[in-house]
Amino acid sequence: MRAETRALIAAMAPGDAAEAADLRYVLDWIDSGARIWREGGAADPPVHLVAYVAPVDFARETLLLVDHRKAGLWLPPGGHIEPGEAAESTAAREAEEELGMDVRGHLRGPLLLTVTRTVGAGPRHTDVSLWFAAAVDEHAPVRIDAGEFAAARWYAWNGLPGSRRGMNVDPFVARLAGAAPDGHEEAT
């Protein structure tokens, strides 16, 4: 799965110089043979792979963000990529576990790659995150994991939450227009 993950990342087109530098860093990190999947606690290893999945209603230009209790930020749901798991599988699994949504077959991406030091409670570590969009009707039922999230809310792409918005949400939203599925087909 290391080779498949590397190929997925290598195929990404960086949106700016910072993302190009992150892509080079991540490819070198994978090529080094370092452990890339979380295997122990939150910081083992101290750098590891994560997949975010943002439910997006492309027709209405809205996306669902969650109020993440530990980070104290509005972010898409997501989680750690398990050893040997494909990033797309993680995105679909996290949507099911954290939102009660089946998004298999409706994923777009990854649209963005970020390398971010975690914030909030718990051991600090660095997440190498692949950001996916899932084409979803915003009226589809959502069942959030209340232990992990204080709330979930649909936001217009041009009306995102203020100061508590995760720092990489804006570049992700900038990529959404190019990821719209043909005919805006969406999961329910």
Which tens digits make up the pLDDT trace of 145-171? 999 999 999 999 999 988 899 989 999
Asked whether 100 and 67 are in contact (CB, 8 A), the reply is: no
Which tens digits make up the pLDDT trace of 58-111? 999 999 999 999 889 999 999 999 999 999 999 999 999 999 999 999 999 999
The DSSP-derived string for the chain is -HHHHHHHHHTPPPSSHHHHHHHHHHHHHHHTT---S--SSTTSSSEEEEEEEEEEETTTTEEEEEEETTTTEEE--EEEPPTT--HHHHHHHHHHHHH----TT-EEEEEEEEEEE--SSS---EEEEEEEEEEB-TTS-----TTTEEEEEEEETTS--STTB-TTHHHHHHHHGGGPPGGG--B-
1 has pLDDT over 80:
yes
Asked whether 30 and 5 are in contact (CB, 8 A), the reply is: yes
- Name the pTM for this structure: 0.92
Ordered by where they begin, the domains of the chain are 2-184 (3.90.79.10)
Parallel, antiparallel or unpaired: strands 126-135 and 47-57: parallel
Tell me the β-bridge partners of 149: 68
